[in-house]
Amino acid sequence: MNFTIIAPCFNEEESIPDLVNQFSDLLKNRTNVKLLIVNNGSTDNSKEILDRLCERESFLESIHIEKNIGYGNGVVAGLRSTKSEFVTWMYGDLQSRPVDTIKAIEMMEDEGFPKDLYIKGTRRGRPFFDQCITLMMSIIESIYFRRTLYDINSSPSLFHRDFLNYWDNPPDDHSLDLYAYSLAKNYNLRMRRFGVEYPPRVYGVTSWNYGLRAKFVMTMRFLKYSIKLKKEIKNFK
């Protein structure tokens, strides 16, 4: 069975070589895993760096999008371009660890490659305030959707590509994690969670979850999208 790891990137010229090098070490004895980096409208040297690295690494592929289309759309572009049986995604800025993504793949292999299994990380060792926000959002979303939803934005999320047949109008931003997770719950995919670590960002500055105001904006955006999502998914009970 083949796996593709999708990593959307926007202006990550500093982190891309490190990301690829880490996967190079992890995939030395594997031929069934591809890393697909989606260059999502970067204006720095990401394209040139990726083109050069793709010539060097056989496991590496990339697609280039001229204008940034949002995190969610970047992931979806990667999902649509690969034919692998199993797909997953992670943050291209190394705020999620490549080794945890490989751990998810190993779990799927140990389970025998079932089509009805959804594997998702659960973040460990985060700052107390971030944990409180995650807990609050988990409670609100679980009550609203009447399903247990916890640590919605953690990665990786790994599943068989047949699950994509249920996807219709996925969001273009970080709400994609909520969309995929809640949809998997709605269609009764079996869940397996495992602990992952989110190391401090080494390269650049994140623009989507930095500071109290940004976290508040993200939370309100999630709540607004939850209302829309419940209306769109007809089978929610």
Of 98-102, 124-128, 194-198, the poorest mean pLDDT is in 124-128
DSSP secondary structure of 48-84: HHHHHHHHH-TTEEEEEESS---HHHHHHHHHHH---
* In the chain, domain spans: 3-232
Pick the CATH number of 3-232 from 3.20.20.70, 1.10.1660.10, 3.40.50.1980, 3.90.550.10: 3.90.550.10
**Residue 11 backbone class (left: φ over 0; alpha: ψ -120 to 50; beta: rest):** left
| Confidence tier at 212 by pLDDT (50, 70, 90) | low
Question: Is the model's pTM score more than 0.85?
Answer: yes
Cα distances from 12 to residues 57, 67, 194, 209, in angstroms, run 18, 15, 27, 17
**Whole-number pLDDT of residue 37:** 98
Work out the end-to-end distance of the chain between its first and last CA atoms, rounded to an integer number of angstroms: 34
Pair type for strands 60-65 and 157-160 = unpaired
Task: Report residue 138 as tokens.
Answer: 């988990």
Mean pLDDT of the chain: 90
Task: Report residue 217 as tokens.
Answer: 């904006």
Q: What are the tens digits of pLDDT across the range 140-186?
A: 888 888 888 999 989 999 999 999 999 998 999 889 999 999 999 99
